Structure 1
């Protein structure tokens, strides 16, 4: 069976209360994780933005967006890592239509 890769987009919102260094470390962690398991097509740091509603009593978050291609099994692992990582307020992974 051929190696199948699909196109995905993920958005993560990181907690800013621990400072810019902690946010940069989280961005680097997820960038490395994605590039080790797939190919990053594009990425965008949307920066610090006001949240529409408080999440865990935070009113501000740092947005990071990545478009990548990976095996169909990887998004589940990425989601698991998002959920167990301190400093991640919210995350979303969607498959892009081909």
Structure 2
């Protein structure tokens, strides 16, 4: 069951979504973690649409979201596609590898996403990340 907690990071209040009962999930896919950067040129509404789009895409493929965090707008270490900052989103999920390929292809085509990186994980991660200052 996904839970929502309020956290304060960088002076801003954010909603943090985490799985309060990861043992109850019975998905046969593999575990992944993805961090994707959304262009700062997008409105807050467009930003939320992108987040919902990719969350829904995983769920429609029979996957399970274990953690979804919007880290907000942060500076980049170097310019990416001419941008000096971006909206960071972290998501941990479980899905079949075939669905992950389709997911990554969609991210590559999305002009609102300026960069992303996907990692394979050994197990589900549902606790709030350290980027939120350890607040839950």
Under a length normalisation based on structure 2, what TM-score does the superposition of the two structures give?
0.66
> Residues 4 and 72 of structure 1 are in contact (CA less than 8 Å); yes or no, is this contact kept in structure 2?
no
Matched position secondary structure for 2:97: coil
Question: Deviation of residue 18 (structure 1)?
Answer: 2.4
Matches within 5 A, 1:1-98: 4-37=28-61, 38-98=63-123
Unmatched tracts of structure 1, length 5 or more: none
The superposition leaves residues 17-55 of structure 1 with CA deviations (integer Å, 9 ceiling, x where unpaired) of 122121111111111111212000111111110011001
Q: 5+ unaligned residues in a row in structure 2: which ranges?
A: 1-26, 124-136
Q: Secondary structure at the match of 1:73?
A: helix
Higher relative contact order (CA 8 A, sep 6+): 1
Q: CA RMSD in A?
A: 1.4
Tell me how far apart the structure 2 counterparts of residues 90 and 96 of structure 1 sit (CA, whole Å).
Answer: 20
Tell me the number of residue pairs that the alignment of Structure 1 and Structure 2 aligns: 96
Tell whether the 8 Å contact from 1:11 to 1:64 is kept in structure 2 after alignment: yes
Which structure: larger Rg?
A: 2
Distance 1:72 1:28 in 2: 21
Tell me by how many angstroms 1:74 deviates. Answer: 1.5
